[in-house]
Amino acid sequence: MRYFALTIIGRDRPGIVSRVTEILYHMGCNIADSSCSILGGQFAMQLIIAHPELVDGDQVQANFAPLEQDNLSVFVRTLKPGGERRPELSGDLCLISVYGSDKPGIVYRVAKELGERNINITDLNTKLIGSEQRPVYVMMLEATLPEGIDVDSLEAILEPVRLELGVDISVRSINPVEL
């Protein structure tokens, strides 16, 4: 089985996911992992796909020409063996939420504190909510805590950032559910 990373970006409109997955279905691809979101007015989709016979990203790319004609940008990368697997992440999972007035540096300051302590960010989403007159910046991070750092100590680590930026920061543990 060969794996590919597929990225699609373009102005948001209904039906993009349907068109992408229809092409993948007709190609005989399996979606191993995926994420999609609206960033500003742009739709962004990332997938890890698998195919038993295709060996080159150009073969995958060619099937998406109709989307590119509709002003969607499509990028394909052939993954080296093992590149499709999610790494084993040891440590406790936590959710970090940040709310405050929109200003430069919020993502950087939080990410810097986490990175300096080997806290792995596994998911990050930001958006503006509220009104144009009173926008509120929201950032949600999922992270893996290394040994020696727990939720309470992480809150203490982020306290100076909270004060510096004038934002609310909360950290809570995520207990994975076993199926």
| pLDDT tens per residue across span 61-106 | 999 999 998 999 999 999 987 766 666 667 789 999 999 998 899 9
User: What pLDDT digit, counting tens, does each position of 2-48 carry?
Assistant: 999 999 999 999 999 999 999 999 999 999 999 999 888 899 999 99
Reported as a pLDDT band with limits 50, 70 and 90, residue 177 is: low
Neighbours of 2 (CB within 10 A): 18
pLDDT of residue 87: 63
Residues contacting 57, CB < 8 A, separation 6+: 4, 76, 77, 78
Query: Which one is predicted more confidently, 162 or 176?
Result: 162
Report the alpha-carbon distance of residue 137 to residue 102 in Å, rounded: 5
| Domains of the chain, earliest start first | 2-78 (3.30.70.260), 92-174 (3.30.70.260)
pLDDT of residue 6: 96
pLDDT of residue 89: 65
Between the ranges 85-89, 165-169, 172-176, where is the mean pLDDT highest?
Answer: 165-169
Reported as a pLDDT band with limits 50, 70 and 90, residue 173 is: very high
pLDDT of residue 90: 72
User: What pLDDT digit, counting tens, does each position of 115-144 carry?
Assistant: 999 999 989 999 988 888 888 999 999 999
Report the alpha-carbon distance of residue 179 to residue 114 in Å, rounded: 30
pTM given for the model = 0.75
Q: Which tokens is 136 given? A: 């509120």
Q: Which tokens is 129 given? A: 């909510």
